[in-house]
Structure 1
Amino acid sequence: MARVHALEVLLRPAVELYTVAACVLCSVLCLAAPWSLALPPSLGLGAASVLLVLAGCRLHEAIIVLRYRRNIRRLPRYVMTSRAVPVSQHRLFVGRGFRWDQRHTHRLLQTYRPEYRRYIEPSGLYQRIRSLEHRLEFASSPLNGLARITQWDHALNPVRPLPPVGGLPRLHGVEPHESDVTLPLGERVGHVLVMGTTRVGKTRLAELLLTQDIRRQRSGEHEPVIVFDPKGDADLLTRLYVEAKRAGREGELYVFHLGWPELSCRYNAIGRFGRISEVATRVAGQLSAEGDSAAFKEFAWRFVNIIARALVELGQRPDYALIQQHVINIDALFLEYARHYFSRVDPKAWEIIVAIEGKLNDKTIPRHMLGRERRVVAIEQYLSQSRLYDPVLDGLRSAVRYDRTYFDKIVASLLPLLEKLTTGKIAQLLAPQYSDLNDPRPIFDWMQAIRQRAIVYVGLDALSDAEVASAVGNSMFADLVSVAGSLYKFGIDDGLPGGGRAAKIPINVHADEFAELMGNEFIPLLNKGGGAGLQITAYTQTLSDIEARIGNRAKAGQVIGNFNALIMLRVRETATAELLTQQLPKVDIYSTSLASGATDSSDPHGDTAFVSSTHDQIEMTSVPLIEPAHVVALPKGQAFALIEGGTLWKVRIPLPAPNPDEVMPKDLQTLASHMRQRYADPHEWWEGQPAAQDRPLPHDLRGLAERDSGSSPETST
């Protein structure tokens, strides 16, 4: 067979079948009439056996050629139910495929040569049938029934249409032997980046990976799973619940969704901290630090830090609503804290303060204190005369001494951010009332969820309000960075009774469309979160999305450089494709060229008039392992994966098959159905649908939330 030679050619007629036919006929002749070949019956039986063995060998070689030619045009369907997804304690299943090497580059380049076109392009009969279907589309019955027959998607139909996945099947058909493609779990701590344009299978891949993360157990315990979904994917939420129930973890599922606050869990992004200064860092970290904005950001940080310290001293848990309230009116907090401080340190101070207040008028109030309450001015004057010192009170005092107009200008950059996080019903989610026992919606934080090994779904409703989604996502990332720092230093059991420094546990974070959420908070989550056990799988469309969001090419490169594994589906941007192809080496391939020539004889009396020669010449050429054009031409559901230190794999992601036992509770079914109506439906990711705009909560959902059906709060959120 040709594969034993230096130049491999599989796009050719299966000439081995001629040998098979000849061997079979000869073996029949040896058995039926050995005398015709001058053989005795005993030797005829032996000869027939030898011929059949040779026929079997040549038939195997012919099948390889025929299967290769079939795969080049149409790949066999690859379907898998979620129950059949393999779950390993050592490796992460990605799909089926093969390791790409020089042989596959050679085979792929052969398919572009004109002499092999008849093996690549659909047959003439196929093209005529498709043309006939177009003409019969508006025909009357029974002619239009003929089109349904020719479109029958079954192996018995010789002209069935190709699957609607686009791309070039040859990219995967160049290797007839597939195997499971897996990623060692030890490599996941280096994070995984999944890139692909819209509707090519990113969500299906996310479901595949999430299925394994939810069901995996190590040492008898599950792993925490956190999912950030900016747009709101109903099938992704469905998959989370189904797999959680299958693993017996439906009581550990928390659903936080900005689009449906009546059914959402509640979350305080700044209510838990290791150091009080973390509150200011999380709030002010989202402000711009470019140019003149840097000074305003620093002041905003200091001012939020003053407020947070005062709230903690008063025994109140900081949240965005309280921060906004005291940013707008710092006088009330100053008075409240002063009352608290003087009651402990100097109970008689109020008599002096009241006396000072009584003597104040418009002429005796300092100019920079105009517009402040008189009691605030009196307390400030009393503190300036006494020797009392408290760092929190001194910080509040410095804030109220600013001119009110000037003060409003320097906090102007902070107020829009707080407005995004405290407007409407979102304030109930991000500033929960812990003492409200009538609210059945659970409250969670990241440390609690990680200790509980919970599954957290975060739907940010970015299609309806991208600004609020980005602000909430960044605040959650900032909180997660703080928790990662605590885990890195003290472990997961810090502060618990009998809790020592426990072993690090994997924390699986999946960020879909993460470029929509990414800010400066995401970078430390990537380059430092691995030490705390964070394993981030990020999904995005192009490299430009990251750069546009960050606003800095160097920072975008910093983000990309922190991902050790890259899975790239079809992309439309060449620069994104080059992110993969430029990391691959060049390889040498063989090519043939036809050379012919003729030479006239110089002897007029000789017997030879001319000499001619024709021969094939084998040459070696250096080419890239794959080109950006190959990444752009990937069919839907297929990808190139650069894993395990730069090893290139070609992968097919299995198509989803429905399971009959995938039943959700009524409230989650209602939520998922409305998400499908409001947002793009990714159930069949090869058929894109336009997204609708979100609207207020429907009456059936509102009534369902008010009734608070019999499910537990964790599963009904």
Structure 2
Amino acid sequence: MSQSYPLESLLRPAVELNTVVVCVASAVLCVVAPWAVALTPSVGIGMAAGFLGFGLWRLRQAWVVLRYRRHMRRLPRFALRSDQIPVSPRSLWLGKGFRWEAKHTQRLHESFQPEAKPFVQPSLAYRIARHLENRLERYRTLYVVIRLLSADTILNPFRPLPPVGGIPALHAVEWREMDVRLPLGERVGHTLVEGTTRVGKTRLEEVMITQDIHRPSQEVVICFDPKGDGDLLLRMYIEALRAGRGDEFYIFHLGWPDISARYNAVGRFGRISEVATRLAGQLSGEGNSAAFREFAWRFTNIIARARHALGQRPTYDQILSDVVNIDGLMIEYAQQTLVSHDTHAWESISEIESRLNDKSIPIAMKGRDRRVVAIEQYLQKVRVHDAVLEGLRSAVRYDKTYFDKIVASLLPLLEKLTSGRIAELLSPDYHDLEDPRPIFDWQQIIRKRGIVYVGLDALSDFEVAQAVGNSMFADLVSVAGHIYKHGIDDGLPGAGSGEKVAINLHCDEFNELMGDEFVPLVNKGGGAGIQITAYTQTLSDIEARIGNAAKAGQVVGNFNNLIMLRVREEKTAELLTRQLRKVNVANRMLVSMAGDNSDVTTDIDFTSSGGDRISTVQVPMIEPADVVSLPKGQAFALLEGGQLWKVRMPLPKPDRGKDIPRNITDIAHQMKSRYSTGERWWEAVMPPPIHFEPPEEASRPGYQAIVMPSGDGWNSDNEPLQEAGHAAGSE
């Protein structure tokens, strides 16, 4: 509504309706009885048209006031199905909203004034309906009345407000909404999303990921989810199928190892020293721990170099085995290396070993394998120039008890990464062709434009989830450095085009995963095409995880875009509000003055005056309290170099697609049928399986027979064995 007055004043009675009523009545009078106002019938019709035109103009003004007041109590519903979310090759759609300006600060200020209370708070009828609901709960016979009062339908004049909390006025200060979009060129500057628990972070993540998957440029999408949210996993899988990218979708889930892909965090590297850096980087480097961290790095590097020289790919399981028993690695490497230098080397070593006894073994080598001692004594006589062998010799020359102490800090980390079925996922057996679960690495995912969901199941085991997440981040930093230097197609035929692929990295609860390796990823990863969207609850979470306020500020300072949902920490809210300039807000002050007249010669005994005085005061564009009071699903967004937007996200509508999995179990069945490590060529040349006919007793209802690989599944008394079948419905 155009406004030419100093104060806009929208929270007031819609007095324009009075003019509308008068205009309609005058128009009717001019048409029905023009003689009553001294008009001819032809002139009366023209006057009626003029009255109706003016009435419509005033009705439009009244409608703005009425709509504004209605939105102050209840915002219009905004919901979309996932297939209705707009996808653009140029921008990222965040939701509906508006650019926040000084006039919105003014309107919000007016909504908090006492005279605006009747227009902002729920009506008396609404409060009575809610009171009746609570009072009638004890009477079961009146259950129908309660259902009618609480029905969430437009036909219910007393329907309850949506359970989003907060202050609706924060978004109702603008009734003209538009699509809020972030240009894709700004995403490489990274985006930080702050919000407390259950206020819409995951919903915003779903909206962003859906667009990233469906974008025509076939972008890489990687989602780190420490909680292992099943709904987010389902959403990503559904959208991958809809986009025709189901074959590019990978699940890595510590809580569901049966459907999880396998991943070796130390199996791909540009330099062999990266293996030791990824492991030792997770150890504490504070105080006295720094020395043990350096020792752990050195011995891990020795082991990795030896395995690499043997033509074997390093794995966590193998590294743990070698750290615990480095003698075995020394013997294995010496067997392969020494023969190339001296064909009679092992004959000499065997002769030395046969002469060894407890007295002839040096004190520093006590507890070592006698063959290791023999190899060391042989190498003291015969000079062999081999850097890897020299490293292994320096390791075994340590006293075994001392060696175990200096690598003790490494063992807990390796135990976390190799315990239980996690070892199957993080230390995959590359020679097991019967395992249908694929093995992936980040460079492979980026080259094939893959979609990866990483569920770390932190609610079940936080320590393991943290260790695995840090390992993946460290590996991703290494891949980013390689891409930055050589491109994604380095080593492939036709490489050198220099094409950059957008790598969308969504990190939910990223404060639980980040370490020192995250700083270079967020600082320099943009050059490799990595676009990080990090989700966390408070600024203190980042500081607590890193343990250093300066480093936390370094991380936060690398996020150019900030989306702030409702937060409970004032310090976090100030991360947004302190970056905004101040604006002038108009205040209306009622002025009333009276004074007596001391002149007795006049008839005036006193004078009085009254009026309104308008003054301005400078206030912040938004306060931290406004961020704390946001309804669920709404946010303030600082985009494109400090532009403040007010955004609300769409509520999710049920999907109507076909063949959509409803839970993780359905995904498990589909993934098992889709996952394969390659062409199973050997099945074509294998003999057909042998089927055995069960006895007649096994044909009873509810019995299911399973073909056994050997034996017929029944014992000599024609009774089914336990492994042969099971009754339908039994466990």
Structure 2 counterpart of 1:514 = 510
Q: Which residue of 1 aligns with 2:563?
A: 567
Partners of 1:709 and 1:568 lie apart in 2 by 39
Q: 1:292-322: CA deviations, max 9, x gaps?
A: 1111111111111110010011010001001
For 1:518 and 1:437, how far apart are their aligned partners in 2? 35
Q: Contact 1:241 / 1:664 at 8 angstroms: preserved in 2? A: no
Equivalents in 2 of 1:108, 1:662: separation in Å? 45
Alignment of 1:668-707 (within 5 A): 669-670=664-665
SS of the residue aligned with 1:291? coil
1:147-162 aligned at under 5 Å gives the runs 147-162=146-161
Alignment correspondent of 1:528: 524
Provide the residue aligned with 1:21 in structure 2: 21
- Aligned equivalents of 2:397, 2:140: Cα separation in 1: 85
Deviations 1:243-273 (A, max 9, x none): 1111100111100110111111000000011
| Residue 344 (structure 2) aligned to one of 334, 345, 348 | 348
Counterpart for residue 117 of structure 2: 117
Structure-2 residue corresponding to 1:697: none
Aligned-residue offset at 1:711: 3.5
Matched with 2:707 is: none
Paired with 2:82 and 2:673, the residues of 1 have a C-alpha distance of: 28
Shift of 1:3: 2.5
Larger Rg: 2
Alignment partner of 1:363 is 2:359? yes
Describe how 1:133-532 pairs up with structure 2 within 5 A.
133-141=133-141, 143-218=142-217, 222-532=218-528
Q: Secondary structure at the match of 2:14?
A: coil
| Deviation of the 1:156 alpha carbon | 2.3
What TM-score, normalized by structure 1, do the two folds share? Answer: 0.93
Cα shift at 1:386:
2.1
Deviation, 1:390, is 0.6
One-letter amino acid of the structure 1 residue matched with residue 250 of structure 2: Y
What letter is aligned with 2:390?
D
8 Å contact kept, 1:3–1:9: no
CA contact 1:254–1:714 (8 Å) conserved in 2: no
The one-letter code matched in structure 2 to 1:7 is L
d(CA) in 2 for partners of 1:201, 1:272: 37
CA distance in 2, matches of 1:388, 1:201: 64
Confirm or deny: 8 A CA contact 2:194 2:564 kept in the other structure.
yes
Contact 2:30 2:47 in 1 (8 A): yes
Asked if the contact 1:490/1:501 (under 8 Å) is kept, the reply is: no
Please give the per-residue CA displacement for 1:33-85, whole angstroms capped at 9, x wherever unaligned.
11111112222121111111111111111110000000111000000111111
Give the match's secondary structure for 2:493.
coil
List per-residue Cα deviations over 1:4-59 (Å, max 9, x = no partner).
21211100011111111111111111111111111122221211111111111111
Structure 2 residue aligned with 1:695 = none
Provide the TM-score with structure 2 as the length reference.
0.91
Aligned residue identity for 1:476: M
| Offset of residue 216 of structure 1 | 0.1
Once the two structures are TM-superposed, the CA of residue 712 in structure 1 deviates from its matched residue by: 4.1
Where does residue 627 of structure 2 map in the other structure? 631
Deviation at 1:595, TM superposition (A): 1.1
Give per-residue Cα distances to partners, 1:623-668, cap 9 Å, x unaligned.
01101111111000000001110111000000000112153458x6
- Partners of 1:425 and 1:158 in 2: CA distance: 57
Maintained 8 Å contact 1:266/1:441: yes
Q: Which amino acid aligns with 1:98?
A: F
- The 2-side partners of 1:407 and 1:501 are apart by 49
Structure-2 change in CA distance of 1:501 and 1:348 (3 Å): farther
Alpha-carbon distance in structure 2 between the residues aligned to 1:119 and 1:344: 91
1:83 aligns with 2:83: yes
Residue equivalent to 1:61 = 61
- CA distance in structure 2 between the aligned counterparts of 1:472 and 1:427, rounded to whole angstroms: 11
Distance 2:6 2:187 in 1: 39
Aligned-residue CA RMSD (Å): 1.5
Provide closer, same or farther for how the CA distance between residues 499 and 316 of structure 1 changes in structure 2, counting only shifts above 3 A: same
Structure 1 distance, partners of 2:466, 2:39, is 87
Aligned partners of 2:21, 2:155: CA distance in 1, in Å? 25
Residue of 545, 549, 572 corresponding to 1:576: 572
**Cα distance change of structure 1 residues 290 and 669 upon mapping to structure 2, 3 Å threshold:** closer
Structure 2: segments with no counterpart, 5+ residues: 679-731
Amino acid at match of 2:53: V
Q: Distance in 1 between matches of 2:240 and 2:322?
A: 42
Give aligned-pair identity as a percent.
Answer: 63
Give deviations 1:135-189, integer Å, cap 9, x for gaps.
Answer: 1012131x22111111111222221111111111011011111000010000000
Q: For structure 1, which segment, 494-503 or 253-262, has the greater mean C-alpha deviation from structure 2 after superposition?
A: 494-503
Counterpart among 636, 646, 660 of residue 656 in structure 2? 660
Structure-2 separation of matches of 1:129 and 1:168: 21
**Aligned-partner SS, 1:232:** coil
Whole-angstrom CA distance in 1 between matches of 2:155 and 2:357: 98
The equivalent residue for 2:37 is 37
Q: Secondary structure at the match of 2:269?
A: coil
Counterpart CA distance in 1 for 2:6 and 2:378 is 96
Instruction: Flag the 1:119–1:634 CA change in 2: closer, same or farther, 3 A.
Output: same
Q: Tell me the residue number matched to 2:713.
A: none
CA distance in 2: counterparts of 1:2 and 1:435, whole angstroms: 74
Partners of 1:520 and 1:439 lie apart in 2 by 35
Higher relative contact order (CA 8 A, sep 6+): 1
